[in-house]
A = this chain, B = another copy of it.
Amino acid sequence: MSQCCCGCAREDLPWSGRGTDLPISGCRFSLYPMTDNFVPIILGALEKTDTTRVWSESDALSTVYRGKLPYVVDAVRALFVNAYHDGVHMALEGQFSKGCPGDVSGDSVLDYDGEAPNKATAGEAHFPVKCKIALYPMGTPDYIDHIAKIWRLAEAEGLEPTTIHYATRLSGDVQDLFRFFEKVCTEMDGAVSHYIMHFTLSVNSPTAE
Protein backbone atom coordinates (compact mmCIF):
# COMPACT_ATOMS: atom_id res chain seq x y z
CA MET A 1 0.00 0.00 0.00
CA SER A 2 1.38 3.37 -0.97
CA GLN A 3 0.93 6.07 1.56
CA CYS A 4 1.84 9.74 1.60
CA CYS A 5 3.16 11.64 4.58
CA CYS A 6 -0.34 12.89 5.19
CA GLY A 7 -1.58 9.36 5.49
CA CYS A 8 -3.14 9.02 2.05
CA ALA A 9 -3.36 5.36 1.11
CA ARG A 10 -3.11 4.77 -2.61
CA GLU A 11 -3.04 1.17 -3.81
CA ASP A 12 -2.41 2.43 -7.33
CA LEU A 13 0.72 4.42 -6.67
CA PRO A 14 4.36 3.51 -6.08
CA TRP A 15 6.12 4.84 -2.99
CA SER A 16 8.58 7.12 -4.68
CA GLY A 17 7.70 10.74 -5.36
CA ARG A 18 4.65 10.06 -7.49
CA GLY A 19 2.99 13.32 -6.60
CA THR A 20 5.95 15.63 -6.61
CA ASP A 21 5.78 16.59 -10.29
CA LEU A 22 2.13 17.55 -10.17
CA PRO A 23 1.48 21.33 -10.28
CA ILE A 24 -1.20 20.94 -7.65
CA SER A 25 -1.02 22.96 -4.46
CA GLY A 26 -3.63 22.66 -1.78
CA CYS A 27 -4.85 24.00 1.50
CA ARG A 28 -6.90 22.14 4.09
CA PHE A 29 -8.42 24.45 6.68
CA SER A 30 -10.96 24.70 9.48
CA LEU A 31 -12.74 27.87 10.51
CA TYR A 32 -13.56 28.35 14.18
CA PRO A 33 -15.80 31.30 15.00
CA MET A 34 -16.16 31.33 18.80
CA THR A 35 -19.84 32.24 18.82
CA ASP A 36 -23.23 30.54 19.04
CA ASN A 37 -23.69 31.87 15.51
CA PHE A 38 -20.83 29.78 14.06
CA VAL A 39 -22.87 27.81 11.51
CA PRO A 40 -24.16 30.77 9.45
CA ILE A 41 -20.74 32.44 9.67
CA ILE A 42 -18.96 29.36 8.29
CA LEU A 43 -21.57 28.50 5.65
CA GLY A 44 -21.94 32.15 4.66
CA ALA A 45 -18.20 32.53 4.17
CA LEU A 46 -17.98 29.33 2.13
CA GLU A 47 -20.88 30.47 -0.06
CA LYS A 48 -19.45 33.97 -0.56
CA THR A 49 -16.11 32.58 -1.71
CA ASP A 50 -15.64 32.06 -5.44
CA THR A 51 -14.25 28.54 -5.78
CA THR A 52 -14.49 28.27 -9.56
CA ARG A 53 -10.67 28.23 -9.79
CA VAL A 54 -10.10 25.48 -7.20
CA TRP A 55 -11.31 21.99 -6.47
CA SER A 56 -13.12 21.97 -3.16
CA GLU A 57 -14.37 19.38 -0.72
CA SER A 58 -15.72 19.74 2.82
CA ASP A 59 -16.29 17.23 5.58
CA ALA A 60 -17.25 17.57 9.25
CA LEU A 61 -13.74 18.66 10.23
CA SER A 62 -12.37 20.81 7.45
CA THR A 63 -12.47 22.00 3.86
CA VAL A 64 -9.78 21.54 1.23
CA TYR A 65 -9.09 23.75 -1.81
CA ARG A 66 -6.74 22.41 -4.52
CA GLY A 67 -5.39 23.91 -7.71
CA LYS A 68 -2.80 26.42 -8.84
CA LEU A 69 -1.19 28.08 -5.82
CA PRO A 70 -2.35 31.67 -6.48
CA TYR A 71 -5.97 30.55 -6.78
CA VAL A 72 -5.74 28.40 -3.65
CA VAL A 73 -4.31 31.30 -1.64
CA ASP A 74 -6.93 33.65 -3.11
CA ALA A 75 -9.76 31.32 -2.11
CA VAL A 76 -8.51 30.73 1.46
CA ARG A 77 -7.89 34.44 1.99
CA ALA A 78 -11.39 35.22 0.69
CA LEU A 79 -12.91 32.55 2.94
CA PHE A 80 -11.23 34.13 5.96
CA VAL A 81 -12.12 37.69 4.97
CA ASN A 82 -15.70 36.69 4.19
CA ALA A 83 -16.01 35.06 7.63
CA TYR A 84 -14.62 38.06 9.50
CA HIS A 85 -17.09 39.86 11.77
CA ASP A 86 -16.15 42.85 13.95
CA GLY A 87 -15.74 41.77 17.54
CA VAL A 88 -16.17 38.05 16.85
CA HIS A 89 -13.19 35.99 17.99
CA MET A 90 -12.36 33.57 15.20
CA ALA A 91 -9.47 31.32 14.24
CA LEU A 92 -8.55 29.71 10.93
CA GLU A 93 -6.34 26.64 11.22
CA GLY A 94 -4.90 25.17 8.06
CA GLN A 95 -2.05 23.65 6.14
CA PHE A 96 -0.74 24.60 2.72
CA SER A 97 1.04 21.75 0.96
CA LYS A 98 2.48 20.56 -2.33
CA GLY A 99 4.36 17.50 -3.50
CA CYS A 100 2.91 14.74 -1.37
CA PRO A 101 4.28 11.46 -2.79
CA GLY A 102 0.81 9.97 -2.47
CA ASP A 103 -0.94 12.84 -4.20
CA VAL A 104 -3.07 12.29 -7.29
CA SER A 105 -3.57 14.25 -10.49
CA GLY A 106 -7.32 14.40 -9.99
CA ASP A 107 -9.26 16.39 -7.44
CA SER A 108 -7.93 19.63 -8.81
CA VAL A 109 -8.54 22.53 -11.16
CA LEU A 110 -5.51 23.48 -13.26
CA ASP A 111 -6.88 24.74 -16.57
CA TYR A 112 -7.36 28.37 -15.64
CA ASP A 113 -5.28 31.51 -15.91
CA GLY A 114 -5.80 35.16 -15.24
CA GLU A 115 -6.95 37.21 -12.26
CA ALA A 116 -7.78 35.45 -9.03
CA PRO A 117 -11.59 35.56 -8.79
CA ASN A 118 -11.79 36.76 -5.17
CA LYS A 119 -9.17 39.49 -5.47
CA ALA A 120 -11.67 42.29 -5.99
CA THR A 121 -13.84 41.36 -3.00
CA ALA A 122 -11.17 40.15 -0.52
CA GLY A 123 -7.98 41.80 -1.72
CA GLU A 124 -8.69 45.16 -0.11
CA ALA A 125 -9.89 44.04 3.33
CA HIS A 126 -7.57 45.05 6.15
CA PHE A 127 -7.55 43.94 9.78
CA PRO A 128 -4.84 42.88 12.22
CA VAL A 129 -4.20 39.16 12.62
CA LYS A 130 -2.23 37.16 15.17
CA CYS A 131 -0.57 34.18 13.49
CA LYS A 132 1.60 31.16 14.11
CA ILE A 133 3.19 28.88 11.53
CA ALA A 134 5.17 25.65 11.46
CA LEU A 135 6.96 24.69 8.26
CA TYR A 136 7.91 21.13 7.33
CA PRO A 137 10.19 20.55 4.32
CA MET A 138 10.00 16.75 4.00
CA GLY A 139 12.55 14.10 3.14
CA THR A 140 15.65 16.24 3.41
CA PRO A 141 18.31 16.37 6.14
CA ASP A 142 18.86 20.11 5.60
CA TYR A 143 15.28 21.11 6.40
CA ILE A 144 16.53 23.50 9.05
CA ASP A 145 18.27 25.61 6.42
CA HIS A 146 15.09 25.93 4.40
CA ILE A 147 13.18 27.13 7.46
CA ALA A 148 15.87 29.61 8.30
CA LYS A 149 15.26 31.21 4.89
CA ILE A 150 11.55 31.50 5.64
CA TRP A 151 12.24 33.02 9.07
CA ARG A 152 14.37 35.69 7.39
CA LEU A 153 11.63 36.22 4.80
CA ALA A 154 9.13 36.83 7.62
CA GLU A 155 11.52 39.39 9.12
CA ALA A 156 11.96 41.07 5.73
CA GLU A 157 8.18 41.21 5.27
CA GLY A 158 7.76 42.99 8.60
CA LEU A 159 5.79 40.18 10.22
CA GLU A 160 7.87 40.29 13.42
CA PRO A 161 8.64 36.57 13.81
CA THR A 162 9.16 35.42 17.39
CA THR A 163 10.04 32.04 18.82
CA ILE A 164 7.60 29.80 20.64
CA HIS A 165 8.02 26.08 21.21
CA TYR A 166 7.10 24.12 18.05
CA ALA A 167 6.06 27.17 16.06
CA THR A 168 6.84 30.72 15.04
CA ARG A 169 4.58 33.61 15.98
CA LEU A 170 3.86 36.27 13.40
CA SER A 171 1.61 39.30 13.34
CA GLY A 172 0.43 41.61 10.60
CA ASP A 173 -2.37 42.75 8.37
CA VAL A 174 -4.44 39.97 6.80
CA GLN A 175 -3.19 40.93 3.31
CA ASP A 176 0.47 40.84 4.38
CA LEU A 177 0.09 37.42 5.96
CA PHE A 178 -1.53 35.78 2.94
CA ARG A 179 1.05 37.42 0.65
CA PHE A 180 3.72 35.90 2.90
CA PHE A 181 2.02 32.48 2.79
CA GLU A 182 2.11 32.53 -1.02
CA LYS A 183 5.79 33.52 -0.98
CA VAL A 184 6.61 30.70 1.45
CA CYS A 185 4.83 28.15 -0.72
CA THR A 186 6.55 29.44 -3.86
CA GLU A 187 9.95 29.35 -2.15
CA MET A 188 9.39 25.83 -0.79
CA ASP A 189 8.06 24.60 -4.13
CA GLY A 190 11.38 25.55 -5.70
CA ALA A 191 13.48 24.21 -2.85
CA VAL A 192 12.03 20.81 -1.89
CA SER A 193 9.90 18.14 -3.51
CA HIS A 194 7.36 18.11 -0.69
CA TYR A 195 6.48 20.64 2.00
CA ILE A 196 3.69 21.40 4.43
CA MET A 197 3.12 24.72 6.18
CA HIS A 198 0.67 24.67 9.05
CA PHE A 199 -0.79 28.00 10.11
CA THR A 200 -3.16 29.49 12.65
CA LEU A 201 -4.78 32.88 12.09
CA SER A 202 -6.63 34.52 14.97
CA VAL A 203 -8.70 37.71 15.07
CA ASN A 204 -10.48 39.58 17.85
CA SER A 205 -8.94 37.50 20.61
CA PRO A 206 -9.99 38.66 24.08
CA THR A 207 -6.60 37.56 25.44
CA ALA A 208 -4.25 40.46 26.08
CA GLU A 209 -0.53 39.87 25.49
Contact = CB atoms under 8 A, between A and B. Distances in A.
A201 to B, nearest CB: 9
A30 B166 contact: no
Given A3-B144, A130-B61, A8 B91 contact: no
Interface residues of A, number: 74
A166 B196 contact: yes
Given A35-B35, A134-B196, A138-B143, A165 B28 contact: yes
Interface stretch (A78-86, A94-102, A112-120, A173-181): A94-102
Interface in A171-209: 196, 198, 200, 202, 205-209
Contacts of A48: none
A147 interface: yes
Contacts of A34: 32-36, 38
A140 B208 CA distance: 40
A43 to B, nearest CB: 10
B207 A163 contact: no
13 contacts: A7-B167, A26-B165, A34-B36, A35-B35, A35-B36, A35-B38, A59-B164, A60-B130, A60-B207, A61-B130, A64-B166, A107-B165, A139-B141
Interface of A: 1-10, 15, 26, 28, 30, 32-36, 38-39, 57, 59-62, 64, 66, 89, 91, 93, 95, 97, 100-103, 107, 130-141, 143-145, 147-148, 150-151, 161, 163-169, 196, 198, 200, 202, 205-209
